[in-house]
Structure 1
Amino acid sequence: MNWIVLIIAGLFEVAFAFCLGKAKMATGTEMYAWYAGFIVTLAISMILLVKVTQSLPIGTAYAVWTGIGAVGTVLIGIFVFKEPATFLRLLFIATLILSIIGLKVVSN
């Protein structure tokens, strides 16, 4: 169950990065709404991370959380914000995913 919560926390990390990207492109009230979304998703992500670190090793939990956030944010950048999807970028995303899976496999 804690691994599922950790994945959800990582997805909220992706959400707060997405909100930052959208806020950067917005103006006025819309910009403030995206920043509010950033604060809410950041808080949820952190609360969930704190919860899982009570039963999972902090090093593993934090590495998996940031890995999910990094991979998700790069994919959001590629698919939503039209950032380049070069071979090397995709290769390094794949190595991040393999590292996350590896940490899960070797963790108690």
Structure 2
Amino acid sequence: MNWIILIIAGLFEVGFTSCLGKAKEATGNEAYLWYGGFVVSLVVSMGLLIKATETLPLGTAYAVWTGIGAVGTVLMGIFVFKDPISFWRLFFIFTLIASIVGLKAVSSH
């Protein structure tokens, strides 16, 4: 169950970085709403990470959490913010995903 909580925490990490990106593009009240989404996503993400680390090894949980956030943020950048796509970017994203799966596979929990 804590692996599911950790995955959700990682998705909220993608949420807070995406809100930050959208806030940079917005002005006025719209920017404040995106910053509000950033704060809410940040609090939820950290709270879920804390909950997940009650039973999962801290180092593994943190690596998986940041990995999900990194992969998700890069994909959001490509699909939402029109960041450039290159072979090497995709290659290293796939190696990061493989590392996350590997950590899960060798975890004792």
Q: Number of paired residues?
A: 108
Which residues of 2 match residues 57-76 of structure 1 at below 5 A?
Answer: 57-76=57-76
Shift >2 Å, 4+ stretches: none
Task: Give the letter aligned to residue 54 of structure 2.
Answer: Q
Equivalent position of 1:94 in the other structure: 94
Aligned pairs (5 A) from 1:10-25: 10-25=10-25
- Percent identical across equivalent pairs? 72
Where does residue 83 of structure 2 map in the other structure? 83
- So what's the TM-score if we normalise by structure 2? 0.99
Q: Distance in 1 between matches of 2:95 and 2:34?
A: 31
TM-score (norm 1): 0.99
Q: CA deviation at 1:71?
A: 0.1
| Cα distance in structure 2, aligned partners of 1:85 and 1:5 | 30
**Equivalents in 1 of 2:49, 2:65: separation in Å?**
8
SS state at 2:56 partner:
coil
Distance 1:52 1:2 in 2: 5
RMSD between aligned residues: 0.3
Structure 1 stretches of 5 or more lacking a match? none
Structure 2 gaps, min length 5: none
